[in-house]
Amino acid sequence: MPHEMPLAHPLTYVRESLLQMGVRRFADHLCRHGKKLGHNLATNRTTVWKWETWGQVPDRAAQAVIADMLGIPPEYARPDTWPLWLPVWEVTGIHQPWTQAGTVEVLSDLVRGGHMDRRGFLTITGASLSALAVSWAEAPAAFASAAEGDRVTDRMLTSLEQRVTSLRDLDAEAGGAKLLEHARSDLALITTMIKSARCTETVRARLHSLAAEVAHLTGWMAYDSGLHSVGQQYYVAALRSARTAGDENLGAFVLAEMGVHASDGGHNRERATLLETALERRTGSLSALSRTYLYLHLAAAKAQLKDHRGASVALQRSLGLWDRVEKERPAWLGWFGESQIDSTRGKVALWAGRPAEATRYLVSSVTASAPRDRAVRAGRLAEARLTGHDLDGALDAATHGVKLLEGGVSSGRAVDRLKEFSGRLKRYDTPAVRDFQDRLRALPVVEAA
């Protein structure tokens, strides 16, 4: 059954299932945590009971402390939306056993639909996110005997793999919002085949790897459309499917992608933990390409944490491995290359206070990127140029991003990045600035199809 709002109060669910605390312990922990944040709460077991049973609304201070305990940024935990911001919609993928049956259950639950999404809100945060990486690293690859049903042929699998490749190429050109439903349909088809088709274990492994690729692609498209919670659901399914197939490299890649979600939600330390877990616990079974990718993401995570030395070390390890990467690579990472590396080098330099160096790398990255990535990275290039006091160059880059979005590229991330840049222009009042901001406001809202 699709997971909807639980019958119990969402706080009851969070307290019992996620925090594993009784009412008294939760109240005591809340008060202690509040003191660390400068809030002297008078919360006791009766207070919590009233919140959960009578529906009384915690005051702003109490909500702020609860949000901080759960690792939820303040901008997502608005008091007027209580209790809808509590993370109660993510459990299936987290708590199912790491077996083939558990993987199939997670996939089946997703394709049945019904998942609620809080646009822009991450539902898997804090300890749950970090523990997921450890579970992936420690879980065995699991296969059961083939189910009864039609036989899956190599020709059928090849056709599905080509379809996924085409979908990935279209996403790079136009953005994920327009393609999300197509990806969901493909995942439903593959899930049905896993559940009922007759095939060898080798073919079933290919099906699970393919399910992981499509689940990741669906999650990526949801994320690109601003549906962060739904995107996480698909990423968890992708991580499980890759583990079931015994595909270490694909699983590590999905963990890195989950880290990007975490970072955008303000959880940079958790992002670093995901990457370090994959590198430390599975490094012997990972390819040079996978380690290049993981270290590159770790460099970005360290830079966001202002650990510039750690970012430099991770970046140098990534670049050193990149020189050893073979030309042959899996389809799901076939797009990775110099433009992605230059994008990260630019971000690391920008966050370290070197805007001229950042601009050089970001120009190279934008020039070599596919249209959707150009639209996203244009905002970062604009930020670097503005930091270097080049207003005209910054507006030129940002306007290039707007033009791509006006021309058919659909990406919520690109719009958000440009809006973030626009917020930096408050002290500039020129016709060029006003023209850019007018065009940005006129862009259509990105809606997932």
pLDDT computed for residue 282 by the predictor: 72
More confident residue, 215 or 9: 215
Mean pLDDT on 269-280: 89
pLDDT above 80 for 383: yes
Nearest to 447 by CA among 225, 121, 123, 242: 225
Mean pLDDT on 328-335: 85
Q: What is the pLDDT of residues 342-356, one digit of tens each?
A: 999 999 999 999 999
pLDDT computed for residue 135 by the predictor: 58
Q: Do residues 341 and 319 touch, judged by C-beta distance below 8 A?
A: yes
pLDDT computed for residue 343 by the predictor: 97
pLDDT above 60 for 365: yes
pLDDT computed for residue 233 by the predictor: 84
Q: What is the pLDDT of residues 126-140, one digit of tens each?
A: 555 565 566 566 655
Q: Do residues 309 and 139 touch, judged by C-beta distance below 8 A?
A: no
**Residue carrying the six token digits 């459309």:** 225
pLDDT computed for residue 5 by the predictor: 34
- The most distant pair of C-alpha atoms in the chain lies apart, rounded to whole Å, by 69
Mean pLDDT on 235-251: 91
432 CB contacts (<8 Å, ≥6 apart)?
392, 395
pLDDT computed for residue 105 by the predictor: 77
CA–CA distance, 191 with 249 (Å, rounded to integer): 21
Q: Structure pTM?
A: 0.71
pLDDT above 50 for 118: no
pLDDT computed for residue 202 by the predictor: 83
* pLDDT range class, residue 7, cuts 50, 70, 90: very low
* pLDDT range class, residue 64, cuts 50, 70, 90: very high
